[in-house]
A and B are shown apart, each in its own frame.
Chain A
Amino acid sequence: MSDEIIYEVTQNDYKYGFTTDIETEIIPPGLSEDVVRLISKKKDEPEWLLDFRLKAYRHWKTLKMPDWAYLDIPPIDFQAISYFAAPRKNAPKSLDEVDPELLKTFDKLGIPLEEQKILSGVAVDAVMDSVSVKTTFRENLAEMGIIFCSFSEAVREHPDLVQKYLASVVPYADNYFAALNSAVFSDGSFAYIPKGVRCPMELSTYFRINAANTGQFERTLIVAEEGSYVSYLEGCTAPMRDENQLHAAVVEIVVLKDAEVKYSTVQNWYPGDKDGNGGVYNFVTKRGICKGENSRLSWTQVETGSAITWKYPSTILMGDNSSAEFYSVAVTNNHQQADTGTKMIHIGKNTSSHILSKGISAGQSNNSYRGLVRVNPKAENARNFSQCDSLLLGDKCGAHTFPYMEVNNDTAIIEHEATTSKISEDQIFYCNQRGIDTETAVGLIVNGYAKEVLNKLPMEFAVEAQKLLQITLEGSVG
């Protein structure tokens, strides 16, 4: 019960803002067909994957950056970014072979790859810059037929699965950033849960951008076969840098008949400094398909980082009786901008979706919820309930809600509720009078406000997320 968690006072600065001094193999900045070929060659990829990349690249060149979001995006020079950076020592066979500096980095992040994780039962795939470092628990999982490995490894060892499902949910032509990712993605995670298997532990990926002037373009693919279950966690951090770093990931999830996938994200990329310098540009395409009957997909996200967030984890409800959930807490402070939400596409019969979005804006930030609920003509008895709440701290920030509804079947029941509230000075003083200082009070109130969403996170993540909310908002009141 997260109610019982004691609030600890945490430090003021972005505590993940260190860089790691490890040898990095980095290709010169710039993007061209040659670069795409070079990435593919470095990874020793099969022909079909190179073709996929090239098609994506050629398509990307015909596209323009989307500008419909409520975001002020400075021009991005795609030629100034390096599209591949790898810690030099490659493919460790065991933890002993992993660069000690790298392990220290992960320790600082609080994600020990070793014994502690055995105790907590989390299998971690850690991705630093572009290359997956080490996947723990592989053998234990393999005994159950579960595949959890880096994307590159999956391409080598399970090419049939990758070829079957890659881009089956997010085609390369889907949007500008999905096309870019499809052309240059360097690594990511792959998870496959066979028929009838309940994955006994949380699968977890940790992403970190370390090298300067690099983009991170990871690709995650999760396939849950009939009757299977998996809970998947994703965490992200980046060092503090003056210049902006680009992150454009694609996540695809395929949920087959009677299967269930829970996907949780705690996104804490570097948000930039108080004046809005630096920070990660986070343009992410996440989408799942509930392909079979009675399938279920649940997205939970806690978004506290990034200078700019553009992200709409979505679900296509294709199977009859399938259901999807989207629980989101998005926090923006200082000059951060977030335009985030979800899409629920109802196609099958008796499908249901639930959206709960909690936006928190502070400083001079802008925080938008953008959500689409679409009910196709044949989607009988579709149900959707959406609740979008905004909490404002101070009077220089903005909260915006853009709900879109396209209902093409009369049997649908769609509900939408929205509220906007402020933390009042009276609430703060009440807490102060009880001995609670203002920062702690804001943390308490914000965590209370976000509780419904935080409760959806696995326990271990919920604690971290609570602290993150508090750190993110420090200095935003008073």
Chain B
Amino acid sequence: MLEIKNLHASVNGKEILKGIDLTVNKGEVHAIMGPNGSGKSTLASVITGNPAFEVTKGKITYEGQDLLEMAPEQRAGAGVFLSFQYPVEIPGVSMVNFMRAAINEQRKFRGEEPLSASDFLRLMREKKELVEMDSQLTSRSVNEGFSGGEKKRNEIFQMAMLNPKLAILDETDSGLDIDALRIVANGVNKLKTPENASIVITHYQRLLDYIVPDFVHVLYDGKIIKTGYKTLALELEEKGYDWLK
């Protein structure tokens, strides 16, 4: 589904990613761990096409297409979703309106008819339950005045609404208490199918108690320095990163 080859990327002229190779197949969950500043969020930004980052070398193929040639909204339309580490607030734009625009723009990209108002509202109701989201949140402006936990839950709600093929969760666990963490992880697990895949970026092992990865990669100084299974996460929890340098 996703194949990253020798990816180099920089921001403001400073190289952050220094040659990433990563292959993600359908149905797989990949965890990416690593200390602060190792390039985890940059990788997520580059895959989704954030214009603040410059790809200087390498290739990303997504479902046979050259992902780097696609605009961010085209990547989204093709099924790439990012749960942001810091979701932004958009004052005045209600969640309802925002989601409706997002869904229908993605449908348009895929050559599908827009969703009718009633189907849309039904979908909203269903997915709100999935992430146990307070129904008032969707009538408020996008992330405006949401608590840290509400913002994260809102990201998973949007993921549920948009039903992506490849979901990237960037530190979705940070700032969550244990109950919220369980709810978010539960939502992610329910959305898992043999057809989609996810990349879970995290600092801590604890999220991986809930979302069980097939592979764990350690990112350090812009490179993947070790790849293993679930047990690698436990090992990292115990020993830290220093032993890998």
Contact = CB atoms under 8 A, between A and B. Distances in A.
Interface of A: 3-4, 6-7, 424-427, 429-438, 440, 444-445, 447-451
14 contacts: A3-B94, A4-B96, A429-B52, A429-B72, A430-B87, A432-B72, A434-B102, A435-B76, A436-B102, A437-B73, A447-B92, A448-B97, A448-B141, A449-B91
Given A437-B105, A444-B98, A429 B87 contact: no
Contact of A429 (B51, B100, B104, B109): B51
Given A435-B77, A444-B101, 12 more contacts: A6-B100, A6-B114, A424-B88, A426-B88, A427-B90, A429-B50, A430-B87, A435-B105, A435-B109, A437-B105, A444-B90, A448-B92
A136 B158 CA distance: 48
Contacts, number: 90
A433 B48 CA distance: 7
B123 interface: no
Given A6-B104, A435-B109, A436-B105, A430 B90 contact: yes
A434 B92 contact: no
A430 B88 contact: yes
A463 to B, nearest CB: 14
Question: What are the 5 closest A-B residue pairs judged by CB atoms, nearest first?
Answer: A448-B92, A448-B93, A432-B72, A435-B106, A435-B76
B201 to A, nearest CB: 15
Given A6-B114, A429-B50, A436 B90 contact: no
B210 interface: no
A438 B73 CA distance: 8
Interface string B96-124: 11101111111001000010010000000
B90 A432 contact: no
Interface of B: 48-52, 71-73, 76-77, 81-82, 84, 87-88, 90-94, 96-98, 100-106, 109, 114, 117, 141, 158, 162
A440 B101 contact: yes
Contact of B105 (A424, A440, A448): A440
A452 to B, nearest CB: 8
B71 A437 contact: yes
B82 A433 contact: yes
In this complex, the member of B72, B91, B98, B102 whose beta carbon has the largest number of chain A beta carbons within 10 angstroms is B72
Contacts of A7: 97, 101
A445 B105 contact: no
A293 B187 CA distance: 60
Nearest to A448: B92
Contacts of A436: 73, 101-102, 105
A3 B97 contact: yes
Contacts of A437: 71, 73, 105
A447 B91 CA distance: 10
Contacts of B52: 425, 429
A394 to B, nearest CB: 15
A7 B98 CA distance: 10
A7 B97 CA distance: 9
A447 B98 CA distance: 11
B127 to A, nearest CB: 14
A451 B96 CA distance: 14
Given A432-B49, A436-B102, A445 B76 contact: no
Nearest to A432: B72
Contacts of A4: 96-97, 117
A431 B48 CA distance: 12
A445 B92 contact: yes
Given A430-B87, A444-B97, A451 B92 contact: yes
A368 B97 CA distance: 30
A5 to B, nearest CB: 8
A391 to B, nearest CB: 10
Contact of A432 (B76, B103, B114, B141): B76
Nearest to B161: A434
B90 A433 contact: no
A434 B93 contact: no
Nearest to B168: A433
Nearest to B97: A3
Nearest to A2: B97
A214 B93 CA distance: 41
A445 B144 CA distance: 13
Nearest to B82: A433
A451 B49 CA distance: 30
A450 B98 CA distance: 15
A427 B114 CA distance: 24
A92 B101 CA distance: 45
B51 A425 contact: yes
Contacts of A449: 91-92
Contacts of B97: 3-4, 7, 444, 448
Contacts of B158: 434
A450 to B, nearest CB: 8
Contacts of A451: 92
B78 to A, nearest CB: 9
Contacts of B72: 429, 432-433
B90 A445 contact: yes
B88 A432 contact: no
A447 B97 CA distance: 11
B157 to A, nearest CB: 12
Nearest to A5: B97
B116 to A, nearest CB: 10
A444 B51 CA distance: 20
Contacts of B96: 3-4
Contacts of B104: 6
A6 B108 CA distance: 13
A430 B84 contact: yes
Contacts of B77: 435
Contacts of B101: 6-7, 434, 436, 440, 444
A448 B143 CA distance: 13
Contacts of A440: 101, 105
A444 B82 contact: no
A6 B99 CA distance: 11
B128 to A, nearest CB: 17
A436 B72 CA distance: 9
A435 B73 contact: yes
A455 to B, nearest CB: 11
A154 to B, nearest CB: 41
A434 B203 CA distance: 25
B225 to A, nearest CB: 28
A7 to B, nearest CB: 6
